[in-house]
Amino acid sequence: MLELRPACEHCNKALPPSSPEARICSYECTFCASCVERVLGNVCPNCGGGFAPRPIRPSKNLKGDNFLGKDPASTKVKHRPVDPAAHANFAAPLRNIPPEKR
């Protein structure tokens, strides 16, 4: 199950479990939509993959105890700001390749 990390790894913006602004890669690196678009160019600085909106876990028990009350979001912040110049060099050859073909 997803950790639902609480903040953007770059700018440290709060991303609560219900945030539609959260974006994740396949390794669950978590960034806000603004950083994914403006800083990262849809290239994960940790793996080179693309990003997708993070699913929102139900806050109420709608079926089978699959909800935040039983499986709470992580509280561990991973604040690892990206060096824009280093990321630009890393991402340059990847930006024009769709994430599904990287």
Share of the chain above pLDDT 70, in %: 100
| pLDDT (0 to 100) of residue 56 | 98
Q: What is the mean pLDDT of residues 25-54?
A: 98
> Where does 20-83 have alpha helices with state H?
33-35
Average pLDDT, whole number, for the chain?
Answer: 97
Mean pLDDT of the region 18-30? 98
DSSP 38: I
**Given pLDDT bands bounded at 50, 70 and 90, which one contains residue 31?**
very high
Query: Which pLDDT does position 40 carry in this prediction?
Result: 98
Give this prediction's pTM: 0.93
